[in-house]
Amino acid sequence: MVRKPAPPVAPRPLNRRLPEPPSTLRRGPLREEAWRSPLRSERTAAVLGIWVGIAFAICFVTGLISHLIQQPPSWFGWPSRPVNLYRITQGLHVISGFAAIPLLLAKLWTVYPKLFEWPPVRSILHAVGRLSLLILVGAALFQLITGVLNLARWYVVMPFFFTTTHYWTAWIAIGAILVHVGSKLAIIRLGLSAPAAESEEQADVDVDSPPDPPGGLSRRGFLTAVAATSGVVALTTAGQTVPALSAITVFGQRDPDLGPQGLPVNKSAIAAGVEETAIDPTYRLILQGPRSNELSLAVLRSLPQHTVTLPITCVEGWSATADWTGIRMADLLDLMDLPADGEVFVESLQEDGLYRASVLSPPHTRDPLTLLALQLNGENLHIDHGYPARLIAPNRPGVLQTKWVSRMTAL
Amino acid sequence: MTSAPEAGSTGLTLSGDPEPAPSPYRWAWYLPGLVAVGWGFYGLLTAPMGPDPLQWVLFTALGVAGHDLVLVPVAVGVGLLVARILPKVLRAPAQVGLIGTGIALVAGFAYILGPGVSADVPSALPFNYAGRVAVLLAVLWVAMAGWAVLRIVRARSRSPSRSGSRRAGDADQPE
């Protein structure tokens, strides 16, 4: 018995082929043979795509951690140990972001001819797919551009609040990457299963198949060059996090040893508007809780002092270790009769600003390393480091290490 | 190159072959991806300190346009020049040097221009970034020059008198 062939199935409306534009329009970069570099291939695109995906995934996870620490939902808890954990995650965030620059640019260069594919739109579904790519490319570039601008403190060219916008765009970027991977799974598999790139010598002599003039990099050489460039960018960015690399810093924002008392500053007393109130001799630390109190600087100095060695870690990725001396937060909370699981709202003399106050919650509140610091590296705090008193706690972003502390309120 | 098939959904790969059929597992990626994209746009539009949507779109579009209409065409143009002007033996070192140079300038331009430097916070952006980028590029190009010399020596060791035929990669081989 001979089976009849199945009747042809009409394509769904969204996938129905649209009329092709006149071929006379197919000029310049739209020409069939316009893009001839032998470096571009499914394998190159797939390998670079994996590297970009890894870099963006690291950026996303570490950025999400930083966001959750600063705006913790009820289900989220962040430990106070190990003390260097946030230093590592936020350092990685910036390092992987910079390392992603060559990876993303190489990936986009590899698939650039797809921008000029012919016909420009084959079907409605195809048009939707191309538009989704615009979201992917736009969001990915947005993240890297704003990240670089933020590190360079070039805020005026960003007509939005960096932190919020960078955070929400990160969701778009990582989501668009997932969608893109899903749509390209078969091609990625095809690319990765293709034979590895030919050797450089093969590329040199194989003048027939590669349309570009030979003699340049092979595909393997191109990938190696991109990986090496990414590695160098990472190394020359990491110096602001890893002191051993500070001498070769090129793209880092800070030298961990440079600043008042050998420590960088993010916000100065002048910028915070506390240059007078911070040195006012009538300064009092106000404790508001089950038992309220007002403590002068002299009284604070008379309380038991402890010295701890802790890093200060900025959300911009730099970090530096210092010796801090002051009163254990647990002792101050005892003065307030605050229960062991209590939280405290720590406020600054700074009157305005998003980071003028922070909430200190367990386990940081009772961690013996958490201090209301009065001294840094054996000297009274420099005014830019928060004189007369600042919060320093283990494994916490710098923006939450409130400076010029004036009031602590039990929550 | 295979001609494009009739189905509207099928395009061509970078190699010019028909794209393979979509993976049956694609929805396992689409679903979390679409949720994340939707969550991101929801946050952008509703977050208390979120951006003006029009400014976000404009900034994003400028980034894409700057990349697609300026950065890549410049890179492609420089690549074409390298392929046409330089002898074969020098092309790979030049390409690596140019890739590194381009990336260093893209990653470092905001530092080099230095608009974020403030006398108020001298510990921020404390380096001579132009000088550091220049040193990095000098190291890169010295390394590439060394590589080029090695390639020239290697190419000459494969001279026609020894190998019996000319090989691509010879410094003196005409285009």
The confidence score (pLDDT) of residue B173 equals 34
Distance from CA of A305 to the nearest CA of B (A): 29
pLDDT at residue B126 above 80? yes
At B44, the pLDDT band (50, 70, 90 cuts) reads: very high
Set of chain A residues whose Cβ sits within 8 Å of the Cβ of B87: 215
Cα(A236)–Cα(A231) distance, integer angstroms: 9
Residue B44, both tokens: 């952008």
Residue-wise pLDDT for A369-405, tens only, equals 999 999 999 999 999 999 999 999 999 999 999 999 9
Q: Where does residue A117 rank: exposed (0-12), middle (13-18), buried (19+ CB within 10 A)?
A: middle
Set of chain B residues whose Cβ sits within 8 Å of the Cβ of A175: 32-40
Of A8-12, A75-79, A311-315, B127-131, the range with the lowest mean pLDDT is A8-12
Q: What is the ipTM of this complex?
A: 0.90
A131 in contact with chain B, both atoms CB, cutoff 8 A: no
Task: Report the residue of B14, B19, B129 to disrupt the A interface, i.e. the one with the largest count of A CBs within 10 Å.
Answer: B14
Set of chain B residues whose Cβ sits within 8 Å of the Cβ of A116: none
Answer yes or no: are the C-beta atoms of A11 and A17 closer than 8 Å: yes
Task: Report the residue of A187, A193, A200, A246 to disrupt the B interface, i.e. the one with the largest count of B CBs within 10 Å.
Answer: A187
pLDDT at residue A209 above 80? no
A137 in contact with chain B, both atoms CB, cutoff 8 A: yes
Chain B, nearest residue to A385 by Cα: B121
Compare CB distances from B103 to A158, A229, A249 and report the shortest one's residue.
A229
Q: What CATH number was assigned to the domain covering residues A262-410?
A: 3.90.420.10
Output the CA–CA distances (angstroms, integers) from residue B151 to A135, A216, A292, B8, B160, in the order listed. Answer: 43, 12, 78, 48, 16
pLDDT at residue A185 above 50? yes
Residue-wise pLDDT for A88-123, tens only, equals 999 999 999 999 999 999 999 999 999 999 999 988
**Percent of chain A with pLDDT strictly greater than 90:** 84
The confidence score (pLDDT) of residue A14 equals 80
pLDDT at residue B5 above 90? no
Output the CA–CA distances (angstroms, integers) from residue A291 to A122, A188, A346, A405, in the order listed. Answer: 73, 64, 16, 19
Set of chain A residues whose Cβ sits within 8 Å of the Cβ of B132: 249-250
Q: Where are the domains of chain A?
A: 31-248, 262-410
Please judge whether B33 and A182 are an interchain contact, meaning their C-beta atoms are less than 8 angstroms apart.
Answer: yes
pLDDT at residue B163 above 50? no
Domain A31-248: give its CATH architecture.
Up-down Bundle (1.20)
The confidence score (pLDDT) of residue B11 equals 78
The confidence score (pLDDT) of residue A50 equals 97
Set of chain A residues whose Cβ sits within 8 Å of the Cβ of B127: 249-250, 252, 255
**Helical spans, DSSP H, in A238-289:** 269-272
Over residues B2-21, mean pLDDT = 66
Please judge whether B100 and A253 are an interchain contact, meaning their C-beta atoms are less than 8 angstroms apart.
Answer: no
The confidence score (pLDDT) of residue B6 equals 44
Angle at CA of residue B41, ends B28 and B38, nearest 5° = 25
Cα(A353)–Cα(A272) distance, integer angstroms: 8
Cα(B24)–Cα(B90) distance, integer angstroms: 46
Set of chain B residues whose Cβ sits within 8 Å of the Cβ of A117: 11-12
Please judge whether B108 and A41 are an interchain contact, meaning their C-beta atoms are less than 8 angstroms apart.
Answer: no
Q: Which residues pair with A321 in a beta bridge?
A: A311
pLDDT at residue A22 above 70? yes
Set of chain A residues whose Cβ sits within 8 Å of the Cβ of B107: 98, 101, 148, 233, 251
For A52, residues 6+ apart whose C-beta sits below 8 A from its C-beta are A100, A103, A104, A107, A140, A177
Chain B, nearest residue to A118 by Cα: B11
